[in-house]
Structure 1
Amino acid sequence: MVAGRWFKNEDKDKGDDIDELNNTINEQSDEARKLAGRFEKAMNEFATDRSLETCLDALNIAIQLANIRFKVARSWEHYARTLEGEVARLSRQSGGNKQQ
């Protein structure tokens, strides 16, 4: 999975890093949407059947959904920190250029 791919390449070009993060977030969000659909179906089955098996199926999907949502949140946090770093770097650069 691509979830942690961008953590390993600290010295990569920041533009590539941001693009890769964007792709990762999109992939994780797609996976979360698919799981949300599966969860809704599993909950409907549980509401109809009320068996231990349908309960466990819904619970399993809920855990998977929580896990992928956590990964999406972490990816967004990393994305925000990366952009903040770039803004700070560009601000320092432009501030240095104005003083010269």
Structure 2
Amino acid sequence: MKAVVDGTVLAEAPKEELIAIEGNWYFPPSSVKSELLSPSDTPYTCPWKGECQYFDVTAGVAVLHDRAWSYPQPYPTAFDRVGKDFSGYVAFWKEVEVTD
């Protein structure tokens, strides 16, 4: 699967390596082009997943604010709920299209 915005591939991995959580596909850290992501200062803590790290996404000359996020150190109880360790996995939002 691929995460793409304006023709720029942000992440790519086989579907079986992704994790679906609450309608979003989370890509393994090794599949993400980290040079296209910049950490954002936007704070958020999910009540069951833990502290979130948002990222701004660079696509060509455009910078899209908070269009990616990750849970670097999810709550241990979240692994039971999801069924896997999703530490550092990255999901995308809005303009970013995730396709097969």
- Does the alignment reach a TM-score above 0.5? no
TM-score, normalising length from structure 2? 0.25
Rg: which structure is higher? Answer: 1
**Larger helix proportion of the pair:** 1
**Larger strand proportion of the pair:** 2
Structure ranking higher on relative contact order (CA contacts 8 Å, 6+ apart): 1
